[in-house]
Amino acid sequence: MNARFTFIDLFAGIGGCRIAFERIGCKCVWSSDWDTDAQDVYEANFGERPAGDITKIPNNQIPDHDILVAGFPCPSFSIIGERKGLSDNNGSLFFEIERILKDKKPSAFLLENVRGLVNHDKGKTLNKILTHLENIPYYVHWKVLNALDFGLPQKRERIIIVGFRNNRKFEFPKGTEERLTLKDILEDDDKVSKEYWLSEKIKRQRAQAVEGKWVFYPSIWHENKAGNIGIHSYACALRANASYDYLVVNGVRRLTIREMFRLQGFPEEFKPIGSYTALRKLMGNSVPIPMIQKVAESMLQSMENGEITPLLKQVKLFEVS
């Protein structure tokens, strides 16, 4: 069976975007990620080890492809990062994407990043990215999507940027009506290893912090940057560098690795390779697979139906000087 389209998986992490595109009949022809923990997990599940540091890989070592897929590093734009934008080492990796797009000229691309990119530097950073993409040239569309709208019990908002070499009619998916609940995701507390349980001291502190609030089960207790704790019927976004106790199940324990995988939509057969600390970081950097899959489906519909819309000026987020 022939693949619908080929794609490359940049800043691949543990392969969430790859799973999304492969599920709809696309073929991955190359991948890259510098993180050795991510490479170990990727290799164990896909049978190939991603190439390393993209800044050291010349264009002639990257195969031709139809779609470039990249969840490029986000700490430069995140509310919990230093927000240095395109000027720091992580943010500047966008220009590696630009380099490959200019040379390989794939038919389309999908980029994913944190919601914080939208307002970074009062919109100037996003405008700069959009302008660079349009000048290659690509016709660019962007939208902030939430994993909660795509079947997962995780509030994870991400900006998705999609581009086409031809000005094809494209609309972002609106989401799905059905959603998994925490009951579908969480393991029974009495079956979870004690290594995941909070100390009695921290449990008491959590209980005191929610005194007077409506407590229900199952639930995930989220501690925000101000130290306030909210009780939710979903998980707030998994984060690579947050404290171990910022998301707590039923006020008594941390999420297990398998629960984190489920919150991102990974299949049950996906193999977790590595320590809890390493996998927790990798899951915090990964993508909600069902959300990416729905966007990928919309992209392929646009690419396959052949409809080209009249030339339109792309709309920027902000008018900035």
Positions annotated as catalytic residues are 74
* Lookup: tokens for 267: 């299949």
111/7 Cα distance (integer angstroms): 13
Specify the 3-state DSSP secondary structure of 61. Answer: helix
Q: Is 313 helix (H, G, I), strand (E, B) or coil?
A: coil
Q: How far is the C-alpha of 259 from the C-alpha of 193, rounded, in Å?
A: 13
Token output for 141: 């569309």
> Please, which residues have CB within 8 angstroms of residue 213's CB and are 6 or more apart in sequence?
231
The answer to whether 109 touches 17, Cβ cutoff 8 Å, is no
Distance, in Å, from the CA atom of 295 to the CA atom of 164, rounded to the nearest integer, reads: 13
Burial class (CB in 10 A: 0-12, 13-18, 19+), 128: middle
Sign of the C-alpha dihedral, residues 8, 10, 12, 18?
negative
**281 φψ region: left (φ > 0), alpha (ψ -120 to 50), beta (else):** alpha
The structure tokens listed for 203 are 């449990």
Q: Give the pair of three-digit tokens for residue 183.
A: 């009951």
Q: Where are the alpha helices (DSSP H) in 72-157?
A: 94-104, 124-134
